Amino acid sequence: MNSASTRYTKTAVILHGVIALIIFFMFFLGWFMHEIPKEAAKQASFDLFNLGVVHWNVAEPASPRTFYFNLHKSIGITVFGLILFRIFWRITHTPPAMLTSYKAWERKLATGTHHFLYLLMIAMPITGFIMAINSKYGVMWFGLDLVGGLDNKDARELFKEVHETVGFVFLLTILLHSLGALKHKFIDKDGTMKRMSLH
Ligand code: HEM
């Protein structure tokens, strides 16, 4: 067997890493922005997460809540684009066959988890997007107006619940996926992790 058939392509590995990092960041941002009080003065510059590392100037002064909500929406839409490209790549590039050492239940669990993760990667941005267009603010992408808000309170509330619930299920599934990867590295000590790395 040549090495190409035992590992994921470089593009798949990079997409896996970049999307994973952005999704972690989106969870953090989602929880962070949730805590920001509604009443606050508008600012033209933001110290990102109050860490004193990145200072972000905005064209139009905004309240901290608006700034972080817009950032969450903009990055969410961007990662959705990357996720769609990843799915296209997955369909057009057959992944390497699983190691022959895997037991039948491991194959089923791994395949099911991977497919479910793809579903959640689609559901998370879409439910966020539906919630956002039903708010009175609508959706902007890094300052560019995409869609105006419908101001439909019931639909917004419903999709807020759905977005949060999908997020909870997503976190549990990511945990299962990561535990599986760690089991292969430290208990089975097989080559699973290497297949999804660049060297
Ligand atoms: C992979 C993509 C995404 C992830 C991981 C994610 C994650 C989260 C999390 C963890 C929260 C906090 C929920 C809570 O308070 O318990 C949140 C809230 C929110 N998300 Fe997302 N999100 C994603 C994509 C999007 C997109 C694409 C949009 C809209 C275009 C969006 C709009 C919102 C809004 C408006 C809230 C605030 C709800 C509120 O408190 O009123 N999200 N998201």
Distances in Å between the Cα of 16 and the Cα atoms of 13, 33, 195 are: 5, 26, 12
Enumerate domains of the chain plus CATH numbers: 3-192 (1.20.950)
Query: What is the rounded distance in angstroms from the CA atom of residue 94 to the CA atom of residue 175?
Result: 25
Is the pLDDT at 4 greater than 60, yes or no?
no
Residue closest to 99 by CA, chosen among 12, 197, 14, 184: 184
To test the ligand 1 pocket, which listed residue (36, 80, 163, 171) has its Cβ within 8 A of the most ligand atoms? 163
**Percent of the chain whose pLDDT exceeds 90:** 96
Tokens of 113: 């988890």
Residues with CB under 6 A from ligand 1: 23, 26-27, 30-31, 34, 69, 72-73, 76-77, 79-80, 124-125, 128-129, 131-132, 139, 160, 163-164, 167
pTM score, whole prediction: 0.93
Number of other residues whose CB lies within 10 A of the CB of residue 132: 26
In 3D space, the residue among 41, 42, 40, 44 whose CA is nearest the CA of residue 58 turns out to be: 44
Does residue 1 carry a pLDDT above 50? Answer: no
